[in-house]
Amino acid sequence: MVVFESGEVDQRRATANAESRSAETWLKRSQELANIVGADASGVKAFLGRWKTIRGRLLQLPALLTELAATPCFMQNALILELLEAIVESLEEAKALVEKCTELSYVGKLQMQSNLDALAAKLDLHIHDGQLMLKSGVLKEAPVTPNLATPETSREAMRWNIRDLLARLQIGNTESKQKALDTLVDLMYEDDKNVLFVASQGGIPALVHLLDVSLPSLREKAAAAICSLALNDSCEHLVVSDGAIAPLVRLLESGSSLAKEKAAAALQGLAYTAENARAVAAHGGIPALIELCRIGTPGAQAAAAGAIRNLAGVVELRTSVAEEGAIPIIINLVTSGTALAQEHAAAALQNLALSDDSMRQAISKEGGIQPLLRYLDSASSPRAREITVEALRNIAASPANSDSLIEAGFLPRLVTVLRSGPLTAQQSAAEAVCHLACTSETRRALGEAGIIPPLVRMLEAKTSSAQEFSAQALASLLQVESNCKEFMHEEQGIAGLVQLLDVRNTTVSKQFPIAALSALVGTARCRKQMVAAGACLHLRSLAEGDVSGSRRLLERLERGKLLRIFSRKPSSKKLEAKGYHSQCCQAPQHCGVGCMPSVRINMATSSRELDIELEQLNMSTPFVNEF
């Protein structure tokens, strides 16, 4: 049902009544002509083969017209009037050709053959259009004009409108199809619900067919409609199953600028899933998209870069994308494209560098690092900065690129991102630090760039993944003595690492905080801070679970506790109060008066000698805890 405002009711009713009378007139005329021409054609002796084909079509028309006239809303549908007028026009032409062939009054044989072939094609088209109208259901419901429109009637009205427009896309002349398509595209842009209506009414095959027509304007609008469907998650599988990928790729190669842009945007949406991305590649989409990135309009370049970004997200397609020469073209887009093209291009490089070391090195060799760093400086949106940091992180995963990144000025940018970037970008930056800290030289350079303070603050991040990457980066950086000294200036550094040892925090790997603390345990000040922060308690629980490195770190901390205990010279009164002889504690030799053997230690001995004596005496943890 089509719903009109109340002010339009009288005018619409008058128009409908006039169309009803006109449709009845055209129906009668077409039925009369079909019978007359059918009978006259049977007597034609010239061009027998062609007239036999035409007679077969003429015999189908009366039954079709009768079936059309029997539909409930035959007289109220404007589309039927256009069909009847076209049928009558073709039958008048057929009548004239029958007379010429009967009287042999035609001018040229070849010309007559061509006219008869054209007539047969017209009759075929009329039969197709009539059957399509019956199948589409547009003749089963009539436009209504209620005084008040409810939400339900509005939805039904829109469905009817869309069914009518879809029928017009397949019926009538080019001008009629163009108008219907313009209206349909506008409706799809207005509301996503209309996109769903088009898909549910079976309109996708008709739109896909229009992608291959010769008229550029029709191809552009059809591509725009398909693009709206492809970008809708509920419709993209229907677009693929109805065969849209192949004509969309052809449109990239031979369409107008606007058609190419819409086709690329549609393929971008479809290629979001791996299966569809493989289908795009199988139909030759990769070279066509790369070429569009090179010479397309700004909008087309952005859409094509987005499609390549999705294609590069599929592991097995990355090599094909690179072999087609995408890397230098994509790098150029990072430098000179629109804001959207730059973002898609950076994301494409991010995906290309995700897992293949040779790809990472190729991006570096093609000069991709500097454009990415410049884009990181100028990107206006947080998401664009995140993508760029992720791309640089992936490039940094190749040790061969470390020097190039450092020389290009990546380290100060990392510090900036770690200090003030979004949390996801900070996490990616911490991952990049982990990749870069592969040699003593790069670790020292990272420390000198000021990377340690923001990493310490990241230990308090809200996400466990950010905490873990921060601990991993610190564990690597603290292998350099100068970085350890820098770390000791951070008041919350050790406490932040110790809190990650808590066994109740199951989302953070204990490997990295243990490694970082182990690099610091050689300093008495750091040991004292670790013990004060509760490291021994956490490490005992981890040691019971055989967590790697936990037992050794615990032993070193507890040995340090003993060192502090015995480094203090106890008073005679305190020792005698505990039942010890002060002489025994002041000299290495045994006094022979029953003093506890476990305290017969020379307090003046060196730390190394103390360690040896502790091992010989087999001092146990309970004794340490006693102090």
What percent of the chain lies above the pLDDT cut of 70? 83
Highest averaged pLDDT of the listed ranges 172-176, 414-418, 556-560, 584-588:
414-418
Evaluate if residue 31 carries a pLDDT over 50.
yes
The answer to whether residues 157 and 119 touch, using CB atoms and an 8 Å cutoff, is no
> At which of 73, 101, 136 does a domain end?
136
User: What Rg, from alpha-carbon coordinates, does the chain have?
Assistant: 41
Listed residues 76, 109, 136: the one ending a domain: 136
For residue 430, is it within any domain? no
Q: Could you tell me the pTM of the whole model?
A: 0.76
State how far the Cα of 146 lies from the Cα of 7, in Å rounded to an integer.
11
Q: 380, exposed or middle or buried, with CB in 10 Å at 0-12, 13-18, 19+?
A: exposed
- Is residue 422, in this structure, part of any structural domain at all? no
Query: Is 103 within a domain?
Result: yes
Between CA 288 and CA 264 the distance in angstroms is 9
Evaluate whether residue 120 is within a structural domain: yes
- What is the average per-residue pLDDT within 570-592? 48
Q: Which residues of 415-427 are buried (b: 16+ CB within 10 A; e: fewer)?
A: bbbbeebeebbbb
In a domain, 263, yes or no: no
* Residue whose C-alpha is closest to residue 617's, from 602, 536, 578: 602
Q: Would you list the DSSP string of 292-333?
A: HHHHS-HHHHHHHHHHHHHHTTSHHHHHHHHHTTHHHHHHHH
Cα dihedral value 274, 278, 283, 287, nearest 10: 90
Q: What is the mean pLDDT of residues 83-93?
A: 90
Query: Is 207 contained in some domain?
Result: no
At 507, give phi and psi (nearest 5°).
-90, -10
Terminal CA-CA length for the chain = 90
Residue 478 φ/ψ, nearest 5 degrees: -75, 5
pLDDT digits (tens, 9 = 90+) for 593-620: 444 444 434 433 444 444 444 444 333 3
The tens digit of pLDDT for each residue in 112-158 reads 899 999 999 999 988 888 888 888 776 766 554 444 445 566 777 88
Range(s) of the domain holding residue 613 = 576-622
* Counted domains in the chain: 2
Long-range pairs of 526-535 with CB within 8 A, sequence gap ≥ 24: 526/488, 526/494, 527/556, 527/557, 527/560, 528/560, 528/564, 529/494, 529/495, 530/494, 530/498, 530/557, 531/557, 531/560, 531/561, 533/494, 533/495, 533/498, 533/499, 534/498, 535/498, 535/501
| Confidence band, pLDDT 50/70/90 cuts, at residue 591 | very low
In this prediction, residue 579 carries a pLDDT of: 52
Task: Count each helix (H run) and each strand (E run) in the chain, helices first.
Answer: 37, 0
Which are the contacts of 421, defined by CB distance < 8 A and separation ≥ 6? 382, 385, 386, 389, 429
**The pLDDT of residue 338:** 95
- Environment class of residue 584 by beta-carbon count within 10 Å: exposed (0-12), middle (13-18) or buried (19+)? buried
Contact yes or no for 363/350 (Cβ under 8 A):
no
What's the average model confidence in pLDDT over 204-227? 94
Q: How far apart are CA 330 and CA 319, in angstroms?
A: 15
User: In this model, does residue 238 exceed pLDDT 70?
Assistant: yes
Average pLDDT over all residues of the chain: 84
Of 136, 171, 206, the residue at which a domain comes to its end is 136
pLDDT in tens, 151-208: 566 777 888 888 888 888 887 678 888 999 999 999 999 999 999 999 998 899 999 9
- Residue 94: which H helix or E strand, with range? helix 78-103
pLDDT value, residue 10 = 47
**How large is the average pLDDT for residues 29-42?**
89
59: in domain = yes
Residue 427 has pLDDT above 80, yes or no: yes
Reported as a single tens digit per residue, the pLDDT across 3-13 is 444 444 344 44
The predicted structure's pLDDT at residue 141: 63
The whole-number pLDDT of residue 158 equals 85
> Residues 61, 6: contact at Cβ < 8 Å?
no
- Of 35, 78, 24, 81, nearest to 58 by C-alpha is 35
pLDDT for 492-521, tens place per residue?
Answer: 899 999 999 999 988 999 999 999 999 999
What pLDDT does 553 receive? 93
Q: pLDDT category, 73, cuts 50, 70, 90? A: confident
Residue 21 forms part of a structural domain: yes
Q: Quick one: pLDDT at residue 77?
A: 72
Each residue's pLDDT tens digit, 442-470: 999 999 999 999 999 999 998 999 999 99
Report the pLDDT averaged over residues 420-430: 93
Residue 583 has pLDDT above 70, yes or no: no
- Compute CA distances 437 → 99, 294, 455, 479, whole Å: 93, 37, 13, 10
- Name the residue with tokens 């307090």: 603
